[in-house]
Amino acid sequence: MTGKKKKEIVVSPPYLPRRAEELLEDTTTAERVHVFEISARIGKYMSRILIAVGALLAFVSISALTFLDAKLLFTPEWRTISIIVLGFVGAVNVFCGLVMLAKE
């Protein structure tokens, strides 16, 4: 028995082996750079809008408190305008906060 060698039987698998390395790529750095570029571009415009809206809101508030009658501020027309302005300021603040989170 020492002189005989047994033949090895090779059986091929029923499926083709897949390589996981080719399917999965690490794109986190490219995505991070892309998001940072977009948020930097948007951040320039959003900061200007926030400054303009803040200055306008401060001007309207000061002029309303000093020159206008207090009863005039509670009319339905002023309520509607103030709700629209405050909604716009809130939406811009939320959007700017999301842009700042995207930068991190």
Tens-digit pLDDT profile for residues 81-102: 878 878 888 888 888 788 777 7
Query: Cβ–Cβ contacts within 10 Å for residue 90, how many?
Result: 10
Residue 1 lies in a domain: no
For residue 23, the model assigns a pLDDT of 54
What's the domain range around 33? 29-103
Kindly state whether residue 9 falls inside one of the protein's structural domains: no
Residue whose pair of structure tokens reads 């002023």 in the numeric block: 78
Has residue 20 got a pLDDT over 60? no
- Per-residue model confidence (pLDDT) at position 43: 78
Helix (H) or strand (E) holding 54: helix 28-66
- CA 69 to chain centroid, in Å, comes to 42
Q: How many domains does the chain have?
A: 1
What is the pTM assigned to this prediction? 0.49
The reply to whether 63 falls in a domain is: yes
Tally of residues, the chain: 104
* Segment 21-36 mean pLDDT: 72
Contact 46, 99 (CB under 8 A): yes
